[in-house]
A and B are shown apart, each in its own frame.
Chain A
Amino acid sequence: MEAKINPTEVGKKLRLQGSEIVVVQASNGKTITCAKQGSVLVPIDKVAIYAMGKVKKYPEEELRQLQELKQKDRKRFDASRENEWRLKEIKNLKHNYERSQEMFESIKKSGLADSVDGISTIIAHLLFVGEEVDVQSPVRHPSKLEGPLGNLKVLSTWTVLPDGMRYLSSLNIIPKKENEQ
């Protein structure tokens, strides 16, 4: 999984907008690069990778072969548990990949792009939303981001870290219905 956009460029843009870039360390030792404004933290990858359709594609051909084996030679497919495990694993990758693609489709429809500007615009919106949310326990917050071609429906979930920072724990872009303007 890799962002096409250089995170440093996004950082520069966000700094120009008055935000800082900080690194948060999780208790398993993983580090998370976040945009910070006041007491709000937005992990950059949730936008730059997951929402921008950058979740790695699943092995489509391997999925097709496993499904074909299951359909045509069930006995052989069932003979190795590895086949079933791998099938489950690839289906998981497929659903997460498709969700990421769908989010990006919605972003494109609103007129925003997978660019420094597009990513910074969404992060700036989330930093604003985080300030507005009244959080004592994890809370879901719907918001609308005005893009050049239309509104983007955003559903964010916020949690309060032990140091009191409001942290974006989930980001969902709600797809527009086919007949929705």
Chain B
Amino acid sequence: MNINELLILTEDQIDYSSLPENTLEQLAFSDELFIATSALTELSMRNSPCAASVAWEILSHAHGDHHLQARAVEVLFEVNRQRAMDWMEQQVPECELFMLNAIMELIIENESDFKFEPGLSITHLIIERLAEFDEETRFPHPAAKSSFLKHFGYLRAGFAVSAHHLAA
């Protein structure tokens, strides 16, 4: 089936495992975002070398919606940790709250990668940003926020001390 034939289907009508990688790649960039997300996941499940480049293209061009981009950062982190961390470090100070939440969930799941540099500076940036929000915000989810602080809250004290030193 060619790409146009696939795109008339709904997400659950496609057998992604039977599709060649170049077709999955095209689907991952399509406007049908349910299909795009599943095609990207299939590339990742195959450990395809193009999973990283597709994920990176999605992130660097802000393609699709924040759900597809959140899946893309997860996939990029699986296959090219350094590039994913560089992207996160750039995004965390100003990204929309949904993406901040997605990054926090990824960090919690991969805690050991963020206890030391280069990941540690990203957790510092998040701690700093979390101080801006009250309990009422929809994102970050209260559960993600509390879990993040449970894992990395000890950094808050360090952050306060560093800020104090800088001010002095």
Q: A39: CB under 8 A from chain B?
A: no
A163-181 CB mask vs B (1 if < 8 Å, else 0) is: 0000101101000000000
Interface residues of B (CB under 8 A from A): 1, 4-5, 7-13, 15, 30-34, 37-38, 41, 44-45, 65, 67-68, 70-71, 74, 78, 108-112
CB proximity of B105 to chain A, nearest CB, Å: 9
What is the interface of chain B mostly: helix, strand, loop, or mixed? helix
For A88, A95, A157, the residue with the greatest tally of chain B CB atoms inside 10 Å of its CB is A95
Interface string of A151-169 (1 = CB under 8 A from B): 0000101010100000101
Chain B residue numbers with a CB within 8 Å of A172 are 31, 33, 65
The one of B9, B30, B31, B44 that contacts A88, using a Cβ cutoff of 8 Å: B44
Total contacts A-B at CB 8 Å: 94
User: Which of A1, A28, A96, A167 is in CB contact (< 8 Å) with B67?
Assistant: A96
Is there contact, CB below 8 Å, between A91 and B71?
yes
Q: Which 10 A-B pairs have the closest CB atoms?
A: A92-B41, A170-B32, A157-B31, A170-B31, A99-B67, A169-B7, A95-B67, A30-B13, A95-B71, A27-B5
20 contacts between A and B (CB under 8 A): A24-B8, A26-B1, A32-B10, A46-B10, A67-B109, A71-B108, A71-B111, A74-B112, A89-B41, A91-B41, A91-B74, A92-B41, A95-B70, A96-B34, A96-B37, A96-B38, A99-B37, A138-B4, A170-B30, A170-B32
- A residues adjacent to B (C-beta < 8 A): 1, 24, 26-28, 30, 32, 43, 45-46, 49-50, 55, 67, 70-71, 74, 85, 88-89, 91-92, 95-96, 98-100, 102, 138, 140, 155, 157, 159, 161, 167, 169-170, 172
